[in-house]
Each structure stands twice: as C-alpha cells, then as structure tokens.
Amino acid sequence: MPAFPSDLRRPGLIGLAALLFQTAPLAGQATPPAPTPPAAPPAVAPAAAPQASLQRILSSEISISRTEAELELGLADGRSLELALRNGRIEVDGDEIGTYRRGDALDRSWRELLSRAMDAHSDELPALLAAWTSPDASGATLDSTLDAALAGTGLTGGVTGRLDELQDDISSQVDRIRSEVEREVRRELESKLRSELRQEMGFNGRGAAWTRPFRNIMKGVGNIIGTLALYAVLVGLGFAAVFFGRKYLEGVSDTARYATLRSWAVGLAASFLVVPVFVLGVIVLAVSIVGIPALLAWVPLFPLAFVLALVFGYLAVGHAAGEALAERRFYGGEWFKHANSYYYILTGMALLQGLHLAAHVVEMAGPWLRIIYGLLVFLTIALTWLVLTIGLGAVLISRGGTRPVAAPVAAGADVGSEFAEESRV
C-alpha cells in the first residue's frame, strides 16, 4: 500500500486539531462573557470528565513488543484510532507526530498503560485510557488525541480532510489496478491465442517433429547412451553377483531356464501378494508385544529384500539367456572357450537390452517409423516385465539359488563329460 500523498500534512493537521481542543477553554475565556454558567465543563477535559461522557470502545487491539507498543481503537461513533510508539517514532494513525527514546518516561508510561489495558475489563477501558496523562511534553499530542477521540469530539476537520485524501488515493489505486488487470488479461489472451495458432498451424508437437530430424536424432542418441549406461550398470552388478555368489546366481539361472513357466507363475503370484504380505506382517507384529521390535526390522527389510530379489532374478535370467545363446554357438565350435558366467552375463544383458536399444535406434527416424518404435517400446516393456516376473519366481522357487531345479537330461542321450559338467546342477 503506498503512502498517502499528503503524508507531511497529516501529522500537522492532527497536531493542530489536538492543540485546538487543548486550547479550547482558553479561547472560550478570550471571548466576551456568555450567559452560560461558569461551572460548565470545558469542551475537552477527559481526564477529569465523568465516565458517562466518554464514548464506548467497540473494539480494541493492543500490541506490545520490544520495539513497539500500539493501541488501536474502534469507537462507537464509527471512527478508529491507532496510536503507537514504534521504533523511536510516536505515531497517530501511522503518521509520525514526534519521537521518543526507548525506555524514557513516555515509553515506560505508555507501555504500563497498555499492559493495564490488556487486562482491563472492556467497560473500564475508556476511563483507564482517558485518565492517562503523558509524563512529558513529547507525548502531549498522543495524550490529547486519545482524550479527544474518547470524548467523542474533535478531529472532525482532520478526519474529513483525510477522508477526501483517502478517496483520491483509493480512486487512483483503483485506476492503477484496473489498468494492470487489463494489461494482464490482454497478455494472457495474446499468449493463449498465439499457442492455439501454433497448434493449429502445426508448429508445435507433431507438426514440428516431421520437419526436425536433428532433434529426433539427438533424442535417439541420448536415449541410446542412456541404455548403454544401464547396460554397463547391469553388467557390473552381474559381474559382482558372479564373483560373490556364482553358485546362487547359477542356481537361480538354471531354475529360470529349466522351470520357466513355473517361475513365471510363482513370480506373478508373488508380485500380487507382496503388498498384502507386507501389510499383514506389519499388523501381526504390531499387535503382539514381542513382535514390536521385529517391526522395526520388518518395515525397511521386507521392501529391500523384495527389490534385491527382483534385481538378482533379472541378472539370473540374463545369465540364463547368455548361457542359452552360448550353447547354440557352442554347437558351431569356436565359442565354447568363452562359455563362463561372465560371458553369459555380458551376452545375456545385451540380449535383454537389445530391444531397448533397437527402439531408440528406430526413434531417431522420428515420426516416419513411429509405429515400429511404439511396437518395440511395447515389446521392451513386456519383455522386462516377463524377465522380472520369471526372475522373481526363480529366486523364490530355488530359495535364492540354494535349491535349484535340475536340468532335464534325455534318457540315453550322449552327453560328453564337459557338457555334463555344464548341465549338472
């Protein structure tokens, strides 16, 4: 809210009004003797005035802090008054009318008055405030303004003047806000219209895609790099799994390979049951006093174990895929030398990520091959889900690779010693 344009005039007006009220009896004395009885009360003498002459305070707000002591009154005649000692300034309705020093006589006296006013009954408030007198000259205007307001007199000229100023100020504010709103609305409409036009003319989205091959190529390259990074991470994890737990990885891998359908079914059931099992576990442990400490382990460890099972299962299925591929090539001759678990992980992960990679290569062609791209993305998602489900099932069936499913050996088949080693469980 901007300051009033006549900020400098307002304190003067208020001070002048207050001074007039204070000097009113003197002025009365200066005029020729009137027929009024000499015992008539002065126009403004609130401290000495009976309580009945004070007007009602309808609302009050008193705030006291280290830096300010403020009194805001709503009076029965509809006027409001704000008196404050704030940061060294004496203020009436937000205007500075003088200064004070923190802790001086005025500051202490005003704070004491407000503290008492906070606890006073509302009916006692006018008399309490009216009875206050400033301890020194710096608070005289504050005192007289408060007294004049409570007596229900004075400040009329000042208030009228302020109302006019206020009206002017409000009018200018309204004009300013209106022009701002109009400007905003125009800007908003223009931007909306522009974007709709762009859409209509095909500058955005699909239209632009047909004519911007470089963007598609860059996007595709970025996604290919992302896929290769994912491949590197998976291979790294796979190598770690082979190094630290080859036996278990191969166990899960064999289970996925030789009991694929069963693994898928078990994995599917497990993925549906995981949430209910978790919740049930929480409930069972929560209701039993003994189980409450176990709950602390169950809540973080169960989801962790599930995620680990998923990752381990995925690696194991990759391993199985790599092994299957190596066996096919083995019949060709050369590749038998490379038939170890590290090689299986490398090739298996490449197989599993191959579709993903292909999708991004096709993506570089932009909208021209959008259908094929969509198909490849769908197949990638389906394959990933299938692999994760089979892997999870294989982990569960083989108890984490400790009880793997054996490879079926055809009766009477001629299995060489080396191959038998490979297929043995």
List contacts with another protein (CB under 8 A): 56-67, 74, 117-118, 121-123, 283, 286-287
- Closest C-alpha to 93, from 31, 155, 169, 177: 155
Question: 218 vs 284, which CB is nearer to another protein?
Answer: 284
- Nearest-angstrom CA–CA distance, 219 and 363: 8
Report in angstroms how near the CB of residue 173 gets to another protein at its nearest.
20
- Nearest-angstrom CA–CA distance, 172 and 165: 11
Report in angstroms how near the CB of residue 342 gets to another protein at its nearest.
51
Report in angstroms how near the CB of residue 74 gets to another protein at its nearest.
8
Report in angstroms how near the CB of residue 148 gets to another protein at its nearest.
21
Question: What is the H or E stretch that residue 58 is in?
Answer: strand 57-64
- Nearest-angstrom CA–CA distance, 394 and 382: 18
Q: Name every residue whose Cβ is closer than 8 Å to that of residue 24 and which is 6 or more positions away in sequence.
A: 42, 43, 44
Question: 58 vs 305, which CB is nearer to another protein?
Answer: 58
| Residue 177 token pair | 């806000």
- Nearest-angstrom CA–CA distance, 72 and 61: 5
- Nearest-angstrom CA–CA distance, 425 and 326: 18
Question: 282 vs 324, which CB is nearer to another protein?
Answer: 282
Question: 67 vs 171, which CB is nearer to another protein?
Answer: 67
Buried b (16+ CB within 10 A) or exposed e, 161-196: bbeebeeebeeeeeeeeeeeeeeeeeeeeeeeeeee
Question: 294 vs 377, which CB is nearer to another protein?
Answer: 294
Report in angstroms how near the CB of residue 212 gets to another protein at its nearest.
43
Per-residue DSSP letter, 52: G
C-alpha distances (whole Å) from 374 to each of 3, 211, 224, 351, 353 are: 63, 20, 16, 19, 16
For helices 341-363 and 291-332, angle between their N-to-C axes, nearest 10 degrees? 90
For helices 260-287 and 370-397, angle between their N-to-C axes, nearest 10 degrees? 70
Question: 118 vs 420, which CB is nearer to another protein?
Answer: 118
Report in angstroms how near the CB of residue 64 gets to another protein at its nearest.
5
Report in angstroms how near the CB of residue 287 gets to another protein at its nearest.
6
Question: 56 vs 89, which CB is nearer to another protein?
Answer: 56
Question: 71 vs 90, which CB is nearer to another protein?
Answer: 71
- Nearest-angstrom CA–CA distance, 352 and 315: 10
CB 267 within 8 A of CB 378: no
Report in angstroms how near the CB of residue 86 gets to another protein at its nearest.
12
